[in-house]
């Protein structure tokens, strides 16, 4: 469970460091003769066709791919080969990873005017600290560190989809969004939103031929007040259709958005509504918002919406103190009808007792991706990994890169992430004649 890998360096402008609990910190590629078995005769393997070698390399997980690039010039240049990248897109298996960031308080940006502080995206770049992210591989239970040198200060991660991370400007006003591929170090800007907002909720879904972004709530109706009134949608696809921040239908009355994130599942964006708990749904095809009643809403604590294997799930603690029902952590799945929830998982009671003792009422947040759910306890570095397919719960080791000099660890905020070497759909944005000044890193 603690089999981290030795460090490696990357030829790009970001660092891609790998933790190693069992490694000795030696070289990235081991060529010792002890690894050569009798059947791996170099006279045979050296004559493999290049097309077959490329297919093998395209199947490698990301850390192994970057280590392999150190072998020779040709393998190093694969990342810049259109032929290889096309093959990679066709056959590379999907890997459901997670990416985490240190939690930061955004309240310092509230109502900042243009003459105020210097935390904006321009400013003194020399004094800005390069943002770090922490990749978690649930298959190998391994942590990796990656930096975002191109992302300017004054932006925060807000959503993710198909290997891209969406960053949003922190300052109140019309929002600027950046799409970033952390593996390639690429950065693409979207046009500013129409309405000024404070901390809106962000939804992002990317397919091989389209980009859809929805931003909702926290409309600034005055310099001193916000309300959840409207949402905007950005869309572009390979068919030549695009819509730059068209206003969608109004949000439901008396809705309260606090999580700041949306989840995409089966053609709809979902986000939690608070006081009382319910689920807000935006149907993209019909351009309508509506509410869905949450299961056991009067007894939920720390409810979180996640997407796993194409389904919308709700994860929450249940506390029915006045009834003869044990406290527990449960998972519900939204059914095809779109209004009914069915409980699908429940944390074993003995594990929940241990979990509740560590959590101590501070709350938790969840991130889902593929067959995995990560449950992070707030104000601690403790986290649980649940494998839906294997029905297996396990504690995961803390991220080794977030330990402070005083021995503590930072609280992490996470997103689902699928590492990809190429995201050609962002090329659609280059075809637009955008009415705004281009972003220069």
For residue 279, the model assigns a pLDDT of 93
Does residue 220 carry a pLDDT above 80? yes
Q: How is the chain split into domains, by residue range?
A: 16-91, 97-431
Q: Which of 24, 324, 261, 12 has its CA nearest to residue 146?
A: 12
Q: Quick one: average pLDDT of 358-385?
A: 93
Q: Rounded to an integer, what distance in angstroms lies between the CA atom of residue 412 and that of residue 380?
A: 9
What is the pTM (predicted TM-score) of this model? 0.82
Residue 440's contacts (CB-CB under 8 Å, 6 or more residues apart) are none
Q: What confidence tens digit (pLDDT) does each residue in 61-88 have?
A: 888 998 888 888 998 999 889 999 999 9
The rounded Cα 16 to chain-centroid distance in angstroms is: 17
Predicted confidence at residue 289, as pLDDT, reads 94
Mean pLDDT of the chain: 81
**Measured distance CA(311)–CA(266) in Å, rounded:** 7
Cα distance between residue 202 and residue 261, in whole Å? 5
Q: What is the mean pLDDT of residues 32-59?
A: 72
- CB within 8 Å of 431: residues ≥ 6 apart: none
Query: What would the pLDDT profile of 262-309 be if each residue is shown by its tens digit?
Result: 999 999 999 998 877 899 999 999 999 999 999 888 888 899 999 999
Among 328, 392, 335, smallest CA distance to 355 is for: 328
From 410, 333, 347, select the one nearest 375 (Cα to Cα).
347
Give the CATH number of domain 97-431: 2.120.10.80
Residues of the chain with pLDDT > 90, as a percent, come to 49
Beta strands in 56-102 (DSSP E): 97-102
């Amino acid at each position: 469970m603690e089999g981290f890998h030795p460090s490696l360096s990357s030829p790009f402008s970001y660092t891609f460091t790998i933790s190693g609990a069992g490694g000795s910190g030696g070289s990235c590629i081991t060529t010792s003769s002890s690894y050569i078995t009798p059947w791996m005769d170099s006279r045979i393997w050296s004559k493999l066709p290049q097309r077959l070698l490329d297919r093998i390399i395209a199947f490698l997980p990301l850390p192994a791919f970057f280590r392999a690039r150190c072998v020779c010039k040709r393998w190093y240049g694969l990342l810049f080969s259109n032929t290889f990248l096309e093959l990679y897109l066709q056959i590379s298996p999907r890997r459901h990873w997670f990416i985490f960031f240190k939690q930061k308080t955004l309240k310092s940006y509230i109502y900042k005017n243009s003459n105020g502080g210097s935390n904006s995206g321009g400013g003194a770049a020399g004094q800005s600290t390069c943002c770090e992210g922490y990749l978690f591989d649930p298959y190998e239970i391994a942590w990796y560190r990656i930096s975002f040198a191109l992302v300017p200060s004054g932006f925060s991660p807000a959503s993710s989809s198909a290997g891209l991370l969406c960053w949003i400007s922190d300052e109140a006003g019309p929002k600027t969004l950046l799409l970033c591929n952390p593996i390639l170090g690429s950065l693409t800007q979207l046009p500013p939103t129409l309405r000024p907002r404070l901390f809106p909720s962000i939804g992002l879904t990317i397919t091989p031929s389209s980009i859809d972004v929805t931003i909702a709530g926290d409309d600034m109706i005055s310099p001193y007040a916000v309300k959840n009134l409207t949402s905007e949608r950005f869309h572009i696809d390979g068919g030549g259709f695009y819509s730059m921040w068209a206003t969608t239908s109004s949000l439901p009355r008396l809705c309260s958005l606090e999580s700041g994130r949306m989840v995409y599942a089966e053609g709809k964006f979902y986000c939690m509504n608070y006081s009382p708990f319910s689920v807000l749904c935006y149907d993209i095809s019909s351009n309508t918002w509506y509410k869905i009643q949450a299961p056991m809403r009067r007894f939920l604590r720390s409810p979180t919406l996640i997407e796993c294997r194409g389904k919308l799930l709700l994860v929450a603690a249940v506390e029915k103190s006045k009834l003869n029902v044990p406290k527990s952590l449960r998972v519900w799945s939204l059914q095809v009808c779109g209004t009914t929830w069915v409980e699908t998982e429940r944390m074993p009671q003995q594990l929940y007792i241990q979990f509740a003792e560590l959590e101590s009422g501070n709350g938790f947040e969840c991130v889902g991706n593929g067959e995995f759910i990560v449950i992070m306890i707030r104000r601690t570095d403790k986290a649980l990994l649940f494998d839906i397919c294997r029905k297996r719960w396990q504690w995961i080791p803390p991220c080794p890169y977030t330990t402070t000099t005083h021995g503590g660890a930072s609280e992490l905020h996470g997103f689902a992430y699928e590492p990809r070497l190429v995201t050609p759909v962002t090329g659609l944005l280059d075809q637009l004649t955008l009415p705004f000044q281009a972003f220069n890193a």
